[in-house]
């Protein structure tokens, strides 16, 4: 049973570029959440997708957008990259219909913006 | 504004020691508090706490929640070098389904 998988593991971009990160949820999960974790900080919630729609959004600018596909996998897109976007981007999956929900995390994508 | 504060930020102990990690929170409409262990990248789930005073236990790890005083502790007894990691506390709110607010974490280093 595959857990949450993310790709790529590492990425180097320059300021102003655009990036797409990918996530496949754990088998049986239908909800995907994205987090940004800066060095030495806890993860910060970006947004969450369920039924191919953005359900919740944290305090991130519109440069951060996402998508969920019919197979529940998800993408995170970041436009006009800034140096401050350098971070570990974590994807977490869960089931929407569970009242006591536990999110399972992938190993993340380390994004470096130069 | 909702917040989750963990203390200490870092801790160095020797194998065999017992440690207590703290997590205090101010969150509207609390649903649950979760503890995760992050060794390199992927946080791995340890405990979910929803009720006050009920200890959750897994091997040498245990955790308890106090909803009146708005805090939780994570205890690790007889620490081992493999316990070295960042321990994250997160609080979940029912009005933000699956939106978890994380603390900054406690970095635990266990020396042989």
A31-84: per-residue pLDDT in tens? 999 999 999 999 999 999 999 999 888 889 999 999 999 999 999 999 999 999
- Band the pLDDT of B93: cuts 50, 70, 90: confident
Q: What b-and-e string marks burial along B3-33, b requiring 16 or more CB atoms within 10 Å of the CB? A: ebebeeeebebeeeeebebebbbebeebbbb
- CB distance B38 to B88 below 8 Å: yes
A46's tokens: 């970006």
Q: Which residues of B touch A33 (CB under 8 A)?
A: 98-100
- Band the pLDDT of A101: cuts 50, 70, 90: confident
Distance CA B107, CA B45 (A): 16
- Asked whether the predicted pLDDT for residue B1 surpasses 90, the reply is no
Supply the DSSP symbol for B81. G
Do the chains contact at B105 and A42, CB–CB below 8 Å?
Answer: yes
Distance CA A40, CA B104 (A): 7
| Interface contact B40, partner A, CB < 8 A | yes
Do the chains contact at B48 and A100, CB–CB below 8 Å?
Answer: yes
- Asked whether the predicted pLDDT for residue B82 surpasses 90, the reply is yes
């Amino acid at each position: 049973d595959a857990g949450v998988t993310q790709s790529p593991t590492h990425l180097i971009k320059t300021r102003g570029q655009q990036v797409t990160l990918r996530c496949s949820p754990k088998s049986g999960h239908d909800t995907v959440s994205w987090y940004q974790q800066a060095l030495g900080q806890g993860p910060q919630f970006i947004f969450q997708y369920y039924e191919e729609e953005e359900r919740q959004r944290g305090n991130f600018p519109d440069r951060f957008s996402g998508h969920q596909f019919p197979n529940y996998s998800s993408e995170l897109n970041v436009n006009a990259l800034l140096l401050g976007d350098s971070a570990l981007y974590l994807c977490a999956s869960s089931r929407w219909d569970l009242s006591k929900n536990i999110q399972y995390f992938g190993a993340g994508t380390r994004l470096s913006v130069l | 504004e909702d917040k989750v504060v963990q203390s200490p930020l870092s801790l160095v102990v020797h194998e065999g020691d017992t440690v207590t990690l703290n997590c205090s929170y101010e969150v509207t409409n609390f649903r649950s508090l979760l503890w995760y262990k992050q060794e390199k990248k992927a946080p791995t789930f340890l405990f979910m706490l929803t009720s006050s005073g009920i200890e959750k236990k897994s091997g040498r790890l245990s955790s308890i929640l106090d909803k009146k005083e708005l805090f939780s502790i994570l205890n690790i007894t007889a620490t081992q070098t493999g316990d070295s990691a960042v321990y994250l506390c997160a609080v979940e709110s029912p009005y933000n389904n699956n939106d978890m607010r994380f603390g900054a974490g406690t970095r635990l280093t266990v020396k042989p």
